[in-house]
């Protein structure tokens, strides 16, 4: 196997380019999210929400937050999952990873104890969705205990657990509150290719994008340094 050794300058250029922070600027919002693979959602807005800051830093003054809302809630060219915005084609692989992983024992037990609560939520969404979490009755058998802010927030905890597992989906927002619905009403229809094979395809697509869009590197200084974190 050939090992390519880069100067720190070349490594920095690759990192900046991979994050779409060089010129020319990208021009398409959905393409930016696909190339970054996801946007993290953080409702804290000291200046603006995190997703808006990331897109503005890539797209520049042409970015309008309303375009992101339109892409998620109307065009469905992007979807909101718990804490992230993703391309729809990646969602089956993300859900498969959660379902294939071993659940935390406490969470697994809590879900079993509250299976009737899960069924109540799915039945209500089927007949009345989309709904805000405050409009979904808490019929939990066992409350969610926590020493933090999630203590006794049973409905939100159940909805997020179901969303991670692909049983419900976030269809939009009212301010900072999320609308919940059945996934087949939110995610675009597509063949189910979840699992290891789809995860491999996702990694291959990311690698192909990096190769296709990598910057042209010119020879640097004669002495080349091995890559190290310090000094980047």
Hunting for tokens 């079993």 — which residue is that? 112
Q: Going from the N-terminus, what domains does the chain have, and what CATH number goes with each?
A: 1-88+202-219 (no CATH), 102-188 (1.10.10)
- Dihedral sign of CA atoms 145, 146, 151, 153 in order: negative
Angle between helices 29-36 and 50-59 (to 10 degrees): 110
User: Over the stretch 25-52, which tens digit does the pLDDT of each residue have?
Assistant: 999 999 999 999 999 998 776 788 999 9
- Measured N-to-C along each axis, helices 154-164 and 115-128 cross at an angle, to the nearest 10 degrees, of 80
3-class DSSP state of 6: coil
Assigned token pair, 59: 């797209």
Rounded Cα distance, 154 and 188, in Å = 29
Each residue of 107-117: pLDDT tens digit? Answer: 999 999 999 99
- Mean of pLDDT values over 167-190: 93
Tell me the pTM: 0.78
What pLDDT is attached to residue 46? 74
- Which of 36-40, 78-82, 169-173 is the least confident region? 36-40
Write the pLDDT tens digit of every residue in 201-230.
Answer: 655 665 565 555 555 544 444 434 444 443
CB atoms within 10 A of CB 20: 18
């Amino acid at each position: 196997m050939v090992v390519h050794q880069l100067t720190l300058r070349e490594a920095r250029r690759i990192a900046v380019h991979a994050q779409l922070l060089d010129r020319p600027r990208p021009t398409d919002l959905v393409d930016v999210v696909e190339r970054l693979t996801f946007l993290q959602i953080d409702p804290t807005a000291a200046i603006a929400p995190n997703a808006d800051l990331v897109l503005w830093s890539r797209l520049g003054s042409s970015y309008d937050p309303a375009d992101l809302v339109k892409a998620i809630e109307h065009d469905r060219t992007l979807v909101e999952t718990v804490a992230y915005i993703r391309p729809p084609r990646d969602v089956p692989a993300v859900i498969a990873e959660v379902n294939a992983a071993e659940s935390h024992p406490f969470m697994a037990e809590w879900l079993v104890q509250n299976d009737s609560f899960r069924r109540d939520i799915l039945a209500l969404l089927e007949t009345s969705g989309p709904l805000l979490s405050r409009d979904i009755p808490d019929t939990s058998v066992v409350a969610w205990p926590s020493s933090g802010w999630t203590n006794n927030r049973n409905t939100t905890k159940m909805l997020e657990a179901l969303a991670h597992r692909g049983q419900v989906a976030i269809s939009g927002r009212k301010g900072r509150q999320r609308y919940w619905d059945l996934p087949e009403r939110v995610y675009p229809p597509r063949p189910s290719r979840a699992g290891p094979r789809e995860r491999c395809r996702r990694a291959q697509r990311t690698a192909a994008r990096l190769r296709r869009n990598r910057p042209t590197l010119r020879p640097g200084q004669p002495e080349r340094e091995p890559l190290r974190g310090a000094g980047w």
